Amino acid sequence: MTVKFDNDGFAVESGFIQVYVIDEQGIFSHAEEQFISAGCGLSANSVLTEPKPAKQGFAVQYVAGKWQYVEDHRGETVYSTTDKTALTITELGEIPENYTALAPICENCEWNGEGWQVSAEKQAELKAKKLQQFITAIDNKAASIYSIWTRFESEYRERKDAALAFQAANYQGEVSRYITDFAQKANLDNKTATDIIFQQATGLEKLQVELANQRMRKYELKRDGLSLEAMQAIHDDIIQQMNNLAEAYQNG
């Protein structure tokens, strides 16, 4: 049945009636049927006027006796266009001034009024910084490997000189202990031990030359027009080649 109300908003008779429930902000919650006793009015959070239909991105709000749409971004994350900090919206209304729903593309981007971008000046600054990081990493890698190879540099040099001298003497005459001690421990004759010492010394020299060549490839990073991705690829290849040289030494 339909309940009638007097001019003061009180029910003339008792009965059930369809009402529309709103929250404390006037936002439509749901429709329900309520029982109204004669002489009573509607509950404070109920209205009789049917609300506007639901609309994506908006809440339906009852204000001053009328339904209206109000932007609803509650629960959404927006970002400051000045410092990129995130904010979760908890109130109805438009996105706050100096905030955007677009997430920053990187930590170095800036807001240009329409979107996030990395300025040309910032890109140049980042590229110069990355270049120095790559060069330092390459030099440090080479130094680390070289320090291992040259721990016993004076010993290597004397062993090589002894091997060259014995070879020059056609493997005859006095033999350095560098040769005889190695021959004895490896169960080799002096000639074979001499040849192995010389081969090892020559092999190490070749590795050192190649390590130096790889380290100097850092200048490839300074070529004009390289993107950060291309610089990264060059750096990674240099480091990998150095690792290969270190492994070759370890297995040699």
Report residue 162's pLDDT band, with 50, 70 and 90 as the boundaries: very high
Mean pLDDT for 195-220 is 93
171 Cβ contact list (under 8 Å, min separation 6): 190, 191, 194
| Joined tokens for residue 154 | 């004076």
Residues 125, 246 share a domain = yes
Residues 129, 181 share a domain = yes
Is 22 in a helix, a strand, or coil? strand
Calculated CA dihedral for residues 205, 207, 208, 212, nearest 10 degrees? 140
Does position 179 have pLDDT exceeding 80, yes or no?
yes
Residue 2 lies in a domain: no
Query: 40 is in which domain, residue-wise?
Result: 15-70
Residues 246, 124 share a domain = yes
Residues 162, 219 share a domain = yes
Tens-digit pLDDT profile for residues 112-131: 999 999 988 888 898 999 99
Rounded percentage of the chain residues whose pLDDT exceeds 70: 99
Residues 62, 164 share a domain = no
Name the phi and psi angles at 31, rounded to 5.
Answer: -100, 145
The helix, strand and coil proportions of the chain, stated in percent and rounded to the nearest 5, come to 45, 20, 35
pLDDT in the model for residue 232: 96
| Alpha carbons 154 and 150: distance in angstroms, whole number | 8
| Joined tokens for residue 151 | 């721990």
Spatial contact of 32 and 45, defined as CB atoms under 8 Å apart: no
Does position 67 have pLDDT exceeding 80, yes or no?
yes
| AA identity, residue 93 | G
Mean pLDDT for 25-43 is 90
Rounded percentage of the chain residues whose pLDDT exceeds 90: 72
Residues 212, 94 share a domain = no
Mean pLDDT for 11-16 is 89
pLDDT in the model for residue 250: 85
Tens-digit pLDDT profile for residues 209-223: 999 999 999 999 999
Does position 145 have pLDDT exceeding 90, yes or no?
yes
| Joined tokens for residue 70 | 């109000």
Residues 52, 88 share a domain = no
Residue 6 lies in a domain: no
Q: Which of 6, 38, 70 is the last residue of a domain?
A: 70
Residues 145, 84 share a domain = no
Residues 196, 105 share a domain = no
pLDDT in the model for residue 41: 87
Mean pLDDT for 134-162 is 92
pLDDT in the model for residue 1: 53
DSSP state of 18: E
| Alpha carbons 174 and 201: distance in angstroms, whole number | 21
Residue 172 lies in a domain: yes
Residues 145, 63 share a domain = no
DSSP 37-99: -TT----TTEESSPPPPP-TTEEEEEETTEEEEEE--TT-EEEETTT--EEE--SSSSPPTTE
Residues 155, 143 share a domain = yes
Spatial contact of 163 and 196, defined as CB atoms under 8 Å apart: no
Q: Compare 237 and 151 and report the one with higher pLDDT.
A: 237
Question: In the chain, how many domains are there?
Answer: 3
Residue 9 lies in a domain: no
Where helices occur in 111-170 by DSSP H, the ranges are: 120-149, 153-168
Residues 169, 213 share a domain = yes
